[in-house]
Chain A
């Protein structure tokens, strides 16, 4: 899973030579053999490395603040989203929905690696949502749809259909 994610990231970044990855341990942590030094271990570490290699540092944030925000969401993905239980899932989506209320992307107005990571992380959750639930997490859905259509981003994950017109009214109980 993580390996496919890395290779689609490579394609997006336009890296010519695909890297060869291996995994270690039960959790199948990705490892990248590095010619110039010790191997790189961990999804976040390798992804950040790829971004630097492609000379696209803005994908990691263009200020100290946005860099911190990006790092935070990358960490959120690998610590909280991966392997979350059904119970956690609701909270995660609810919180993300509130967070995205006034934002286009996770780091504000700019597309970053955090969007790619969280997109891949929530994809399995979003796929299982019913129409009504997607409307319950309306900001997440809007952002999700936006990312899956992001120019040049070819995902290894199947697109999720999002209805644009609301079929359920927003009356709350």
Chain B
């Protein structure tokens, strides 16, 4: 028998105490929190008891009960009842109490959280009038409850007040040798803090007031599709709002530079991670930083917030030097060249920066050196020597990427200085055997070199204080919080801020003359210096934490630098810097289920997007539609075509176009009189609700989720037109004609609302719609105020402009051609699914190349064409996806049937090409 426990886990306290009290002989093994001991559970579950039969027990109460039973003490009915109460009632509140006390540092709230449970305990004990829960002797129930409550009750900050019986009962248990020794083992004498590590890994408990996930088996789950019920009050309110008309709000489009913080406004300083200058950004980079940031800033300006959006290219560092050598240019020339490329790509994507700067400027040097001296004065820099490889021939220290040699572990001859490509191990460059300078192939020598380190451990407590505040009050994405927590959990180490390079900002300290700053130290300072290049009054933004909210946008790999390292630099500089309030990190965007790779030519890069002939707005729409928000996502050409054709063309574009066309064709281009009926008011309420959701989500930077609500509105609109058939009613009598007028008028006003909501996502299309509708400029600022107000902006008699279609269909052959051109197809020699297995095989047996799948055998069968089969497999998969998408969108039956017919035909061809009988083969399992 063996008991597995981990330190700091409160459940382990229970079983260790029970083990002591019961006196059962059992091995105890300490493991990590994440260790998966129980083979059939996919999440780590500790404590766990391995029974003699080989079975595992994974519930702490069952383990305690078992230990007692083995020692001859059966569990009575009352005892069982306490255990059930402990598991179902006490544990949820205890978890919450520990969460508030240990992670949020709010020990004072613990007694409030536990109030109900402790009162129950007090009542039971006083009524029973026995020293222990189930009578005059200790039972497993006492041990389990003592141990469960021990961490919070033994903490002096929690007074039991008048709960005398609980106090007497608990003190009796806490005094026992068994409980004390179990507590010592689990908490390590650190009290509540001993559980910090454990608690950080637990999902945050849901407090009973704000349960946002519906239990799935309590009631029939409500699908998102199901119709929302609209109450009379909602309808009346929506109609009232509608009738208020335009307000004379400030015009959102008038921006006066330089933008500076204003009293009484929400002042947002928004940054997008600085793209590294030596490469062309790919779609993943674009969605991860500048595009997401742009959408949020455009939205913020519509909300009448005072927004400043700065970004620029990050230009210093080894990679630039390297690129310069490759292209035979100086680093400065490389920076100039690529800075221009970046700027033109972002211009094409309509990224509306207030200022797009760069890091190779005088301001950058001034500010970086100033922060450096301040850190130095306050004693946050420490000196240490580092062993490094130096190439005497090239006269320079070699950055990790500039060294190659034999891997000390697997003997792979071309291991890089930071990592071996073969065995994947992280390498310290000096460990390489037979190292070579990658540039001149000479053997470098080991030299020790003195460097400066930022003393992160010294700043850790200050950082944690600030982080607790910022993450609890600001909108940090879940991944940002989690990555930050894991960095803190592992403990901070001093970080080297200097490098032996030329292309960088010189370290101003006389002892480190030949050195420059490490890019991670000075790159985020770029945000400050770029702002300084924008306006001399930059300190009004950057040294103004009370008035300014700072938003940082980035992909998740950049999180630690923005949440831990850079804040430490600024905190240590002690100059009242504005620190990040909202950290928005995306996950990764893959390219057709593989990674973007410049070297393999896989994926679409910023400069190529415009060559596709697909408008910038459509690119923006699709990238935002698949924004990796909360989880990784993938760019797929077929999906892009589907989304363009179904969402933009058939849904959004169709609705807006129809609404405008009705006004033009039936009412001579003037908005007709509207007499709102119940049905219209219901629609106004539905649209108003979608608008409110859109605003709630956008305020929280849920950009992808908010987009869905725009599309919902046009769906409602299409349905409304479809049901009311204004094109028929216009030919009827007066009442019918009036009805046609109302429906048209309401529809065209919804189209106007859509143009405003679309503005952050598709600025050009938004402008086109407003031009076509001849919409007043003030509609932009009116509708997104407060929680959202859908007002009638195009009143009766308003003359609209010329209406024309907004979107174009993306044809299959067009998409296929693009897919080929950008290497979207998997490497020619392997069908997509086999690839991963091939890689796995290569990983375990590096020496052997996976043999091709017996081509001779396949070719022997009559009429078989493996090449064609591959193409067909791909086609079948795509067509299948198309059918599924159509079905999911509840497309018209005829359309679906037609596509299914194509699918079946393709499958038949595939079967022939594979040499199988073309009878309907067993269907492939659906990918879940």
Once the chains bind, are B55 and A79 in contact (CB under 8 Å)? no
Query: Is B491 an interface residue, CB under 8 A from the partner?
Result: no
For chain B, residues 83 to 100, give those with C-beta under 8 angstroms from any C-beta of chain A: 83-85, 87-88, 91
**Which residues of chain A are near B61, meaning CB under 8 Å?**
71, 75
Q: Binary interface profile of A, 73-103, with partner B (CB < 8 Å = 1, else 0)?
A: 0011011011111110101001100110100
Do residues A44 and B923 form an inter-chain contact, with CB atoms below 8 A?
no
B53 in the interface, Cβ–Cβ < 8 Å?
yes
Instruction: Give the size range of A's interface with the partner.
Output: 35 or more
Q: How far is the CA of A51 from the CA of B351 in the complex (A)?
A: 70
Is residue A35 within 8 Å, beta carbon to beta carbon, of the partner chain?
A: no
Interface: B41 (CB within 8 A): yes
Q: A65-B52, A84-B217, A85-B213 are in contact. Are A132 and B926 (CB under 8 A)?
A: yes
B residues in contact with A78, CB < 8 Å? 84, 87-88
Q: Which residue of B is nearest A80, CB measured?
A: B59
Cβ of A45 < 8 Å from any Cβ of B?
yes
A50-77 interface mask toward B, CB cutoff 8 Å, 1 = contact, 0 = none? 0010000000000011011101100110
Identity of the chain B residue whose Cβ is nearest the Cβ of A83 in the assembled complex: B215
A-side contacts of B91, CB under 8 Å:
79
Q: B80–A44 contact, CB under 8 A?
A: yes
Question: In the bound complex, do residue B55 and residue A65 qualify as a contact, i.e. CB atoms below 8 Å apart?
Answer: yes
**Interface residue total, chain B, C-beta cutoff 8 A:** 44
**B216 near A85: Cβ-Cβ < 8 Å:** yes
Distance, CA A124 to CA B91, complexed state (A): 25
Q: Which chain A positions have C-beta within 8 A of B42?
A: 91, 94-95, 98
Instruction: Tell me how far the C-beta of A9 lies from the nearest C-beta in chain B, rounded to whole angstroms.
Output: 16
A95 to B55, CA, bound (A): 14
Residue in B58, B65, B923, B928 whose beta carbon sits within 8 Å of that of A133 in the complex: B928
| B77 interface residue per 8 A CB criterion | yes
Cα distance, A95 to B42, chains bound together (Å): 6
In residues 216-255 of chain B, which contact A (Cβ within 8 Å)? 216-218, 221
Asked, given contacts A49-B77, A132-B925, A132-B928, whether A75 binds B57 with beta carbons under 8 Å apart, the answer is: no
Interface string of A96-129 (1 = CB under 8 A from B): 0011010000000000000000000000110010
**CB distance B77 to A75 under 8 Å?**
no
**Known A-B contacts A83-B215, A125-B216, A171-B924; A44 and B84 likewise in contact (beta carbons under 8 Å):** yes
A3 at interface (Cβ–Cβ under 8 A)? no
Q: Known contacts A125-B217, A170-B925; is A69 also within 8 Å of B55 by CB?
A: yes
The distance in angstroms between the C-alpha atoms of A134 and B65, with both chains bound, is: 34
Point out which of B57, B59, B84 has the most chain A C-beta atoms below 10 A from its C-beta: B84
Chain B, interface SS category: loop
Give which listed residue, B39, B59, B216, contacts A84 with CB less than 8 A.
B216
Asked whether A68 lies within 8 Å of B63 as measured between CB atoms, the reply is yes
Given the complex of chains A and B, what is the CA–CA distance between A29 and B65 in angstroms? 23
Task: Please name the residue on chain B nearest to A64 by beta carbon.
Answer: B69
**A13 contacts B by Cβ under 8 Å:** no
A153 and B923 CA atoms in complex are apart in Å by: 37
Whole-angstrom CA separation of A38 from B70 in the bound complex: 28
Q: What's the nearest-Cβ distance from chain B to residue A108, in Å?
A: 8
B51 to chain A minimum Cβ distance, whole angstroms, is 5
Report whether A65 and B58 are in contact in the complex, using a CB–CB cutoff of 8 Å.
Answer: no
A147 contacts partner chain B, Cβ-Cβ < 8 Å = no
Docked Cα-Cα span, A98 to B56, in Å, equals 13
Measured CA separation A81–B91 after assembly (Å): 15
> Taking the complex as formed, is A16 at the interface, i.e. its CB lies under 8 A from any CB of chain B?
no
Beta-carbon contact of B40 and A99 below 8 Å: yes
In this complex, which of A68, A91, A136, A168 has the most chain B Cβ atoms within 10 angstroms of its Cβ? Answer: A68
**In the bound complex, what is the Cα–Cα distance between A83 and B926 (angstroms)?**
28
Cβ A173 vs Cβ B55 within 8 A:
no
Q: Does A68 lie within 8 Å of B65, measured CB to CB?
A: yes
B66 to chain A, nearest CB (A): 4
**Across-interface contacts of A40 in B (CB, < 8 A):** 77, 81
CA A94 to CA B85, docked complex, whole Å: 27
The CA-CA distance from A99 to B83 in the complex, in Å, is 24
Residues of B within 8 A of A67 (CB): 66, 69
Who on chain A is nearest to B217 by CB?
A124
The reply to whether A75 and B84 contact each other, CB–CB distance below 8 Å, is: yes
**Contact A95-B41, Cβ < 8 Å, known A65-B51, A78-B88, A83-B218:** yes
Q: Does A138 contact B (CB under 8 A)?
A: no
Tell me the bound Cα distance from A126 to B217 in angstroms. Answer: 10
> What are 12 A-B pairs at a CB distance below 8 A?
A44-B80, A48-B80, A68-B65, A69-B62, A72-B57, A75-B87, A85-B216, A91-B43, A95-B40, A98-B39, A128-B221, A173-B927
**When A and B form their complex, which 3 residue pairs have the shortest distance between CB atoms, in order from nearest?**
A124-B217, A72-B62, A68-B66
4 extra A-B contacts, CB within 8 A, seeds A75-B83, A128-B221, A169-B923? A64-B70, A124-B217, A168-B926, A172-B925
A interface residues with partner B (beta carbon < 8 Å): 29, 38, 40-45, 48-49, 52, 64-65, 67-69, 71-72, 75-76, 78-79, 81-87, 89, 91, 94-95, 98-99, 101, 124-125, 128, 132-133, 136, 167-173
